[in-house]
Amino acid sequence: MRFCSVLTGTRADAEDLLQESLARCFVRWHKISGVEFVEAYVRRVIVTQHAGASRRRGFRFTALTDDQPSPDGNVDLDLREALRAALQRLPPRQRIVMVLTYLEDLPDSDIAST
């Protein structure tokens, strides 16, 4: 869910992406269960679904909020929101690479194969 949230930028879109991806995996589970790296396979399905949905929808740009800390001084939350907004400004394929690199901590070879 976290992976999908960072890719899509919203919880609702992340839930839709995850549900559709897992439904696709469920239909093919008899083949997937024999694969050595099931998690990588499912991640690949999520990435493919996200990239396909982004092509069908087109790009959606979100505006950055102020860089000022929130009134309660929660800088971490503000930084997280600024990062999320910056990720959403990237084209879908670049966003996927950034998420796989920094959130999933995958090596370049695994990112390229995904």
For 53-69, letters b (16+ CB in 10 Å) and e give bbeeeeeeeeeeeeeee
**pTM metric for this prediction:** 0.54
Q: Which pLDDT score is estimated for 63?
A: 43
Domains and CATH numbers, the chain: 2-113 (1.20.140)
Mean pLDDT, the chain, integer: 78
pLDDT digits (tens, 9 = 90+) for 59-101: 454 444 444 444 455 567 777 788 888 888 888 888 888 888 8
Highest mean pLDDT among 22-26, 33-37, 93-97: 22-26
